[in-house]
Amino acid sequence: MIPEDVLEWMIGMPEDRFIADVHERAPRVHAAGDRGRFDPLLTLPRLNERIAELDLRAGMIELANARQPVPRADYVQGDFIDRVAVARGYRQGATIVFNQLQHSDRRMAAFCRRLERVFSCHIQTNTYLTPPAEQGFRTHYDSHDVFILQITGSKDWRLYGDPEDAPFRGERFQGMTRPAGEPAMTFTLNPGDGAYIPRGYYHDAVNSGDAPSLHITVGLIVRTWADLMLEAVSQVCLAEPEFRRALPPGYAGAGAGADRTAMAATFAQLTATLADRVRMGAALDTITETFIRSREPDLTDSLIDSRIDPEGHYVARPSLLTVKQTETEVRVVAPGCEFNFGRAPLSLITRILDGTPFRVTDLDHAEALDVLGRLMTAGLIERQAAPAG
């Protein structure tokens, strides 16, 4: 069971304090002193079961060794992972990297959904199993913030000063462009310990014990102010025809070509139009709804409990969603779906989704069964046991 205050559980700091004081500002290490702290999320035996059970396709598992690269051809045959080759690579010192385990593990998926509600961004997980005294990656930085959750064994970490300033999303580390210098921060993560490393910090880590080291790296794949600005600008450009006119013929040619002075005047006019017309609201709505729809729905028990019992007890699952009243309907945008209710009032829908337990008979509206059934199909509502007494 993942605690509601997930950041307190991960790094010993409440959500509001972390966002106000630490997020994108500085690393943080939390030595919890609770070796089984993250067992509800993952254990080494459970990971071993997942590796044995899953249909492992190319990209789901990779091997990494700081001493020498491990060619993918060594453990990928066509579209499939060669399990024996993976085990052999591990014995030879390679770290096994299990990519995006949240797509195939229910507990990890629930954990990521909880963090998505905190950060309003895509959450990805990579799980690393490193042999004793080995190192998976050389010194590098990530283009996204990460949390480190140590499950089993220990790892020594080194963080270096003078980080890269907000590297952009999707930027791949291309090797050291300058010396990392001396470590500015060193720490050891033991089972149950957690850490936060903002993007751009050069770092490396080595298994410091005589047992396998298993940790989860949780990545925050955020949307930036640049994304919001580009969406706002694009909406103006779609609405205003002058932005869609062709650039002057010959603008790229040598010699006479296009008149750059005239182009500069037009550019200035368009810039002024942008300054006058650009608005945050609609752009933020678009980004918000696109993000929510792209989330994976939680369909736990949605088929088993598909029949609605008017006397049964129900409650909305915590979820990212938006509810808006338009001129003709109520619109609900939720993970993986969108609903338009033309007959049900806003008060009924907000009552169902406000997190307070209810029975169908409590709702007292002709559209209650239809609304409840559609929202249950999307995993937004779950059945509860009857309260005691």
DSSP annotation string for 182-212: SEEEEEEE-TT-EEEE-TT--EEEEE-SSS-
pLDDT at 170: 64
Q: Which residues contact 186 (CB under 8 A, 6 or more apart)?
A: 156, 157, 158, 159
Instruction: Say how many residues make up the chain.
Output: 389
Nearest to 359 by CA among 384, 378, 333: 384
pLDDT at 252: 86
**Helix, coil or strand: residue 389:** coil
pLDDT at 173: 55
pTM: 0.91
Alpha-carbon gap, residue 63 to 69, rounded angstroms: 9
pLDDT tens for 272-330 read 999 999 999 999 999 999 999 999 999 988 777 778 888 889 999 999 999 999 999 99
285 φ, ψ to 5°?
-60, -45
Strand ordering across the sheet containing 95-99: 28-30, 194-197, 145-152, 213-221, 122-130, 95-99, 61-64
Handedness of CA 24, 25, 27, 31 (dihedral sign): negative
CA terminus-to-terminus distance, the chain: 26
pLDDT at 389: 59
Q: Pairing state of beta strands 313-316 and 381-384?
A: antiparallel
Nearest to 28 by CA among 221, 201, 171, 173: 201
Low-confidence stretches of the chain (pLDDT beneath 70): 170-178, 254-256, 388-389
Alpha-carbon gap, residue 34 to 331, rounded angstroms: 45
Q: One-letter amino acid identity for 304?
A: I
pLDDT at 278: 96
Alpha-carbon gap, residue 131 to 8, rounded angstroms: 29
